[in-house]
Amino acid sequence: MNDGTVSHTRIFSAPRELVFRCMLTPEHLAQFWGPAGMSAPLGGITVDARPGGVFETVMVADDGSSRYTMRAVFDEIREPELIGWTEVESGLRSVSTFTDLGDGRTEVTIEQSNMPAAFLTPEAQAGFRTSLDKLESYLRTMSAASA
């Protein structure tokens, strides 16, 4: 039985400081935030990266059929190691840890707790993983651009 807690771990071929910065900078977030089929326009992203600060994104379906606003409050930020926030409406808590693997790669573990049942479905979890795929692709384009 699932207790409303999910963990995702992904290794990115990018330095920890860059991956961390991507998760807190609106210009970066606009490039990958949200599952496949959704985007987060820059004008709909607010980040006040400090405990008690606001984190808000408006995700829009690529076909224009729907919008989803996520509002959260940062609980903890330890640069470049940890980002924690709690969604205002659902109470979902998300803690992302960033581990430098020492070879230009970063392991990111995202622990989500107090998840609403709708977010625990296999489809919702698969959608969340596509957002990590989008981050991976974005980091790859940044790496190619700097090469």
Amino acid at 100: D
Distance between alpha carbon 118 and the CA centroid of its chain, in Å? 18
CA atoms in the 13 A half-sphere facing the CB of 142: 18
Report the half-sphere exposure of 6 (CA within 13 A, side-chain side).
17
SS3 4: coil
Residue-level pLDDT at 35: 93
Delimit the domains of the chain by residue range.
6-146
pLDDT at 72: 98
**Homologous superfamily, domain 6-146:** START domain (3.30.530.20)
Helix (H, G, I), strand (E, B) or coil at 30: helix
The two tokens of residue 46 are: 């607010």
Q: Could you state, in chain order, the average pLDDT of each consecutive group of 10 residues for the chain (147 residues)? A: 81 97 97 94 97 97 94 97 96 97 96 89 87 95 75
pLDDT at 118: 82
